[in-house]
Structure 1
Amino acid sequence: MNYTYLTTEELSSVIKYDKRVIREQLKDSVLFEGIHYIRPFGGRKILFIWERVEEEMLNGVTTNSLVTGI
């Protein structure tokens, strides 16, 4: 499956949330590492997986999505 990777700034423009809100309020409370975003090559840069973020926005956080990583 092909994924669309977005930086925090790109995600901000797509979902109309400020970059700081994404980093400080959504990341690690609604959007989780390994499910909704990755840190490629073990670095500091964060890339959000658009398809999974969009699915979470449409369906909400469910136990199943947390367990299966979808």
Structure 2
Amino acid sequence: MTYLTTNELSEKIKYEPRTIRSTLKDSVLIEGVHYIRPFGGRKTLYIWEKVEETMLAGNTVSDLIAGLQ
């Protein structure tokens, strides 16, 4: 697995770090699926393979929620 910080993810997907934190995180990018907070800390590490898989699949929030049920 490849772990990325918010800034590193921003460079890969061409979205501003602020957009990732305020819009994508916890709506499209789900904790435990697309990102983790190692050691119970504040730092967020994104799992690149999961983010890429979701982007390529074109999943919507509704798709992700349906997949959790």
- Which runs of structure 1 show a deviation greater than 3 angstroms over 4 or more consecutive aligned residues? 63-66
TM-score by length of 2: 0.87
Q: What is the identity percentage for the equivalent residue pairs of Structure 1 and Structure 2?
A: 64
Q: Give the counterpart letter for 1:67 in structure 2.
A: L
Which residue among 17, 28, 53 is the counterpart of 2:51?
A: 53
Q: CA RMSD in A?
A: 1.8
What is the match of residue 17 of structure 2? 19
TM-score by length of 1: 0.86
Q: Give the counterpart letter for 2:54 in structure 1.
A: E
What is the match of residue 67 of structure 1? 68
Mapped partners of 1:67, 1:36: distance in 2: 13
> Tell me, which stretches of 5 or more residues in structure 2 are unaligned?
none
> Tell me, which stretches of 5 or more residues in structure 1 are unaligned?
none
